[in-house]
């Protein structure tokens, strides 16, 4: 065992029975037609955390049909925006009133610390409220300079039925980056959470009912990507799909959606750098690096899994990160002081370890960690915090998304070298720059190929700011007004005033 701060005890009891999750279709809960269920074993505690209905084609078809009917009859899209906003704000209130219930089941299913689950689930209410504000303030525009006999109006209309597929790493937060914005726009939805972490999404159905959302406007189907996700991506009654997950699956979804030319929005993987220049505040940078790589055990698309540091300060900065790592509190996620919990599945734990071993074989130096980690009383579905130095751009670890608590360290001498390393992957989700020189920060920010660039900070986010990537990190944006606009179609209305149009066909009488 490394010399780490490990927490084995808990201050919150493991639930005495698993959560039971069912589909929510056309305003009603239901089990699968064939009675199939799936169990989720808690990665941190080894007990059955939840038992969920396991849907198939029948449930997916029913959910899509319910959403299609609800959209076409206008029960949601035709109501005034203030009425939609009222429902969304009520959902936000109910989320805040149920944070403890949501957080506990999320921790049991994901293995993340209870304090983090509380922050994500409670913080999601702000996304719902911001989406509600957009519903009321969204507008088109008008053009009255096209000639004295022409008036044109541009309006925004809901795109229609939206398929929403969410991942296991931030199940409630990422759902809240999508669903309230689609609902605010007037769309109807079919939601499929990851089969690994279905429960907080299933629990949301309670809040939708209590808030007064009309039946069929939001439908939740539980189960695997095949066949549910496949049908949600290909069905002709679906107008748009929004997906968060791996780049590989995102490519499959794009291909599947191509036959019907439905709109696709994707938030995918990342290999995100924090670039540290020689004049940076190293204490601040080291703390942000530790946060960026260990938050959610590195199982985060925004994980700062690589640092690109100036040669003059590389040794000093690595020593600071190693020292801080020994004070990060790993272990039992049901203790409020725990900062880093369990890896989501044994298979993923093995995948992380395989990446690290391959990097060492390729010539990287293992500065810290590098193996599964045993926490007394909880087993070994944990992974040691790992730091790899001596990494070069040619090594697979420098460009592959490990999705674990693994930090790779690369070095540079010049701005051009730093930019080349930053942009030298297929990803482009986020990046960070550390320098006390504003000119350095601005130049880096403008040249970095990333959807978000943080300056002297890491992973500060706000509902007002759009989120998404470039290159193979995705397409489209989430949250903010740009994320809201993803769920709208633009229509131009051209009106001729009076009988002023000259005839195109010349007749004898003319």
For the segment 103-140, what is each residue's pLDDT rounded down to a tens digit? 999 999 999 999 999 999 999 999 999 999 999 999 99
Architecture of domain 12-268+469-492 in this structure: 3-Layer(aba) Sandwich (3.40)
How far is CA 171 from its chain centroid? Answer: 8
Which residue is it, tokens 């191509």? Answer: 258
Q: How many CB atoms lie within 10 A of CB 510?
A: 7
Assess if CATH 3.30.70.360 describes domain 273-455: no
Instruction: Report pLDDT digits (tens) over 134-171.
Output: 999 999 999 999 999 999 999 999 999 999 999 999 99
- Is the confidence at residue 380, as pLDDT, over 90? no
CB 383 within 8 A of CB 293: no
- Do β-strands 430-434 and 273-276 pair in parallel, antiparallel, or remain unpaired? parallel
Mean per-residue pLDDT for 397-407?
Answer: 97
pLDDT for res 509: 73
Q: Is residue 57 over pLDDT 60?
A: yes
Which is the catalytic residue, given 301, 441, 478, 486? 301
**Which residues neighbour 272 within 8 Å (Cβ) at sequence distance 6 or greater?**
292, 302, 303, 304, 305, 306, 427, 429, 430, 431, 432, 450
Tokens, residue 214: 């009309």
- The average pLDDT across 325-329 equals 96
- Could you read off the pLDDT of 218-248 as tens digits, one per residue? 999 999 999 999 999 999 999 999 999 999 9
Please report the beta strands in 298-447, taking only residues with DSSP state E, as ranges in sequence order.
306-310, 329-331, 365-368, 372-375, 379-383, 386-389, 406-412, 430-434
Produce one character per residue of 389-414: b if its CB has 16 or more CB atoms within 10 Å, e if not. bbbeeebebbebbbbbbbbbbbbbee
Burial 469-501 (b: 16+ CB within 10 A, else e): bebbbbbbbbbbbebbbbbbeeeeeeeeeeeee
Q: Residues 6 or more apart from 34 whose CB is under 8 A from it?
A: 56
pLDDT attached to residue 510: 56
**pLDDT at residue 3 is higher than 90:** no
Residue 323 — very low, low, confident or very high, per pLDDT cuts 50/70/90? very high
Of the residues 109, 267, 478, 486, which is catalytic?
Answer: 267
The answer to whether 267 is a known catalytic residue is: yes
For residue 91, pLDDT beyond 60: yes
365 confidence band (pLDDT: 50, 70, 90): very high
DSSP structure string for 271-334? --EEEE-TTS-HHHHHHHHHHHHHGGGG-STT---EEEEEGGGHHHHHHHHHHHHTTSEEE-TT
* Burial of 148 per CB tally in 10 Å (0-12, 13-18, 19+): exposed
pLDDT of residue 23: 98
Q: Provide the mean pLDDT of the chain.
A: 97
CB atoms within 10 A of CB 79: 14
What residue ranges do the domains of the chain occupy? Answer: 12-268+469-492, 273-455
Q: Do 12-268+469-492 and 273-455 come out as alike in CATH topology?
A: no
Question: Distance between CA 415 and CA 359 in Å, rounded?
Answer: 26
């Amino acid at each position: 065992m490394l010399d780490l701060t490990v927490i084995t005890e808990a201050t919150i009891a493991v639930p005495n029975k698993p959560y039971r999750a069912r589909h929510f279709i056309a305003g009603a809960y239901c089990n699968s037609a064939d009675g199939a269920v799936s169990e989720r074993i808690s990665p941190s505690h080894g007990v059955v955390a939840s038992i969920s209905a396991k849907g198939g084609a029948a449930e997916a078809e029913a959910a899509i049909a319910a959403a299609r009917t609800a959209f076409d009859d206008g029960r949601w899209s035709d109501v005034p925006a203030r009425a939609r906003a009222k429902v969304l704000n009520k959902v936000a209130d109910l989320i805040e009133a149920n944070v403890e219930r949501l957080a506990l089941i999320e921790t049991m299913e994901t293995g993340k610390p209870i304090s983090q689950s509380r922050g994500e689930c409670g913080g999601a209410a702000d996304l719902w409220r911001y989406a509600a504000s957009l519903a009321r303030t969204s507008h088109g525009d008008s053009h009255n300079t096209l000639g004295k006999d022409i008036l044109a109006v541009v309006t925004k209309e809901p795109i229609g039925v939206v398929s929403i597929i969410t991942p296991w790493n931030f199940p409630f937060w990422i759902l809240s980056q999508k669903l309230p914005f689609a609902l605010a726009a007037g769309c109807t939805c079919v939601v499929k959470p990851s089969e690994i972490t279905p429960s907080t999404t299933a629990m949301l159905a309670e809040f939708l009912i209590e808030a007064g959302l009309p039946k069929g406007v939001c439908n939740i189907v539980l189960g695997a990507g095949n066949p549910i996700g496949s049908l949600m991506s290909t069905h002709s009654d679906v107008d748009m799909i929004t997906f968060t997950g791996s780049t590989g699956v995102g490519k499959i979804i794009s291909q599947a959606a191509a036959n019907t030319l439905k709109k696709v929005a994707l938030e995918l993987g990342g290999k995100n750098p924090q670039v540290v220049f020689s004049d940076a505040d190293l204490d601040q940078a080291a703390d942000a690096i530790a946060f960026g790589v260990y938050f959610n055990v590195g199982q985060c698309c925004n994980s700062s899994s690589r640092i690109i540091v100036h040669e003059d300060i590389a040794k000093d900065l690595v020593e600071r990160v190693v020292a801080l790592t020994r004070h990060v509190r790993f272990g039992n996620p049901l203790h409020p002081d725990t900062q880093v919990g369990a890896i989501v599945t044994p298979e993923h734990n093995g995948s992380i370890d395989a990446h690290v071993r391959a990097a060492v074989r390729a010539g990287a130096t293992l500065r810290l960690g590098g193996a599964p980690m045993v926490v007394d009383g909880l087993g070994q579905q944990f992974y040691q915090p790992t730091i790899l130095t001596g990494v070069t751009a040619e090594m697979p670890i420098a460009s592959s998304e490990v999705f674990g608590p693994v930090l790779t360290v690369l070095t540079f001498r010049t701005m051009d070298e730093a930019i080349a390393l930053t942009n030298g992957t297929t990803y482009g989700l986020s990046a960070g720059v550390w320098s006390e020189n504003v000119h350095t920060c601005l130049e880096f920010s403008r040249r970095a190929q990333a959807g978000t660039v943080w300056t002297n900070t890491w992973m500060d986010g706000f509902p007002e700011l759009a989120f998404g990537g470039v290159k193979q990190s995705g397409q489209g944006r989430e949250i903010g007004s740009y994320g809201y606009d993803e769920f709208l179609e633009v229509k131009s209305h051209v009106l001729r005033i009076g009988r002023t149009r000259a005839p195109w066909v010349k007749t004898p009488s003319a």
